[in-house]
Amino acid sequence: MYNVIEAFKVHIMPTHFKVLAELCEKLEETTKRTLMVNMVADFLKTLKSEEVEPAVSMILGRAFPSWSQQTLEVNWTTLGEIIRRITNVNWETFTSAFSKTGDIGSATKTVLENSMLKRQALLFAKTLTISEVRQNLEKIAETVGHGSREKKERIVEAMLSSASPVEAKYLVKIFIGEMRTGFHEGLMEQAVSKAFQIPINDVQHASMVLGDIGTVAAIAKAEGRKGLLKIGFKVFRPVKLMLAQMAGDIAEALREHGGKTAFEYKLDGARVQIHKQGENVKIFSRRLTDVTESLPEIVEIVKRNLKAEEAIIEGEVIAVDEDDNPIPFQHLMRRFKRVHAVGDAVAAVPVKLYVFDILYADGQSLIKLPYNTRREILAEKIGDIPMPVQLVTDNLEEAERFLKEAIDVGHEGLMAKKINSDYVPGIRGKRWLKIKPTLEPLDLVIVAAEYGYGRRHKWLSDYYLAARDTETGRFLTVGKTFKGLTDTEITAITESLRKLAIKEEHRRVFVIPKIVVEVAYNEVQKSPKYECGMALRFARITRIREDKTPEEADTIQRVREIYERQFLKKGKIKLQNKQ
């Protein structure tokens, strides 16, 4: 067990951040999940109530709770400059350390250890506590306007100057949101359950409703199980979205859903969660970011039509042309990024809202109701707001005609939703299935890029694509491509990647894994070239997924499943040919 501090001290002394950092170090070295859960549970027991949420968030690599709209806006370039200043090391020393570990935090720890003697007096000048780290993070997030960059830098530099090497390692990881200890949210739910002796189902349900396990842990510490059982939806606090799995075809969807299901057009848009209270409306993106200001016409549509004093509904915003036909996703993303001159954007890129689910209305949670019942309630409350076209059927041929119809009118494919399924926030399962007529694309993260040749010599235009390993949290490269993006997109992504650059080797730049792209490919093939043993054949980027975080990217486990599935099909063909 991980006894970090004597129990009698806990009630009178704040917890040092170094204790949390050392716990994370032990988690990183541990592969046994039960041991990891026990270590974190023992740690949570020792914390003061006000330390619980910040500590849980930090262990998961977050500066703030999931629902918070606060952002640090501290990029790697700024952090790199600060590390250079406080250590006086040659930057080649840092890049060498990074090459050995592939981890920015570990490289930071190494260079600080190398400059230890120079910093010895500073190390004991001040000891950071968990609460002080959170307060400083809040100061950074609240610093805006003229001179804000310099003010942010001073706060960050003061924190790193006071930190021991192991503390600095995890501060940097929190700054850039990349923890990689292998301890994910599901394990944290188990740790909270064990620490406060609350059934895991109660913890998971509260986490679904609140959308943040750190907030759940704080309530569990202060109020126990009774506190968690009182938790309900709160308007303007975004809820994690229910996610869908991919189905190979219509037949698979019908089979998974017991022979009959509800098919809907799969719209090529951006998913939104809309909250209404009286005349106040807020719109949250798939990443739970407040995008209300970017979509003023959607706000007005909701105000005019939604017949509820309080409600949380879900929908899809698509970009349309002058004839109301859907246009490509990248045009829509321009709207979501626009906070200035919104009026010009409204005229240039018209958008349309479709709604497809309702989670909460006038004090009542609806997520335990069957999907068809929720849709009926939604239809009664949305006035003239359209819903995606739906077909409820058990007929394979009828469903396949419906899929062709969806493609013909410009949509991606179909969603299949199990008629009697409840809504499970934050869970990807088979209650909802995606059906696309092409080989399923992958959402991958750019981990490195190379400068092009010829007219592209100034651009980072050849990208290394990686999938996330759920076991380790690492991003493993599965392919490389220079295809798919326009010159405008390449110019913009080059600027973004330079800000995320960690080191350069000749024409190759290694970056913090932050940018998610959707990738099409012909097949997954076996390859000794990459550590994962697989590679995408003829990979090409089809869109930049600014609506997705790296944590939402596809996993190496899914890539392996696709490989094995296609391999089995090919094996069957070979066997048939031999007979």
Helix, strand, coil content of the chain in percent (nearest 5): 45, 20, 35
The residues with which 290 forms a beta bridge, in sequence order, are: 284
Number of neighbours of residue 2 by Cβ within 10 angstroms:
17
Phi and psi at 306, nearest 5°, equal: -75, 115
Give the span between the Cα atoms of 368 and 69, in whole angstroms. Answer: 28
Which residues form the catalytic set?
Answer: 266
The angle subtended at Cα 71 by Cα 130 and Cα 142, nearest 5°, is 80
* Amino acid letter, residue 303: K
In this structure, are residues 537 and 548 in contact, taking their beta carbons and an 8 Å threshold?
no
Residue 83, token pair as written in the block: 């590390």
Expressed in angstroms, the distance from the first to the final Cα of the chain is 59
Give the span between the Cα atoms of 5 and 122, in whole angstroms. Answer: 24
Handedness of CA 216, 219, 225, 227 (dihedral sign): negative
In this structure, are residues 305 and 383 in contact, taking their beta carbons and an 8 Å threshold?
yes
Phi and psi at 344, nearest 5°, equal: -65, -40
Q: What letters, b where the CB count within 10 A reaches 16 and e where it falls short, cover 87-101?
A: bebeeebbeebbeee
Pairing of strands 310-319, 460-468: unpaired
Pairing of strands 390-393, 261-266: antiparallel
Q: Give the residue ranges of DSSP H helices in 418-518.
A: 487-499
Give the span between the Cα atoms of 38 and 192, in whole angstroms. Answer: 10
In this structure, are residues 316 and 270 in contact, taking their beta carbons and an 8 Å threshold?
yes
Pairing of strands 413-417, 475-481: unpaired
Pairing of strands 540-544, 243-246: unpaired
DSSP E strand stretches across 493-551: 501-505, 508-511, 516-520, 523-526, 534-537, 540-544
Q: What is the DSSP letter of 159?
A: H
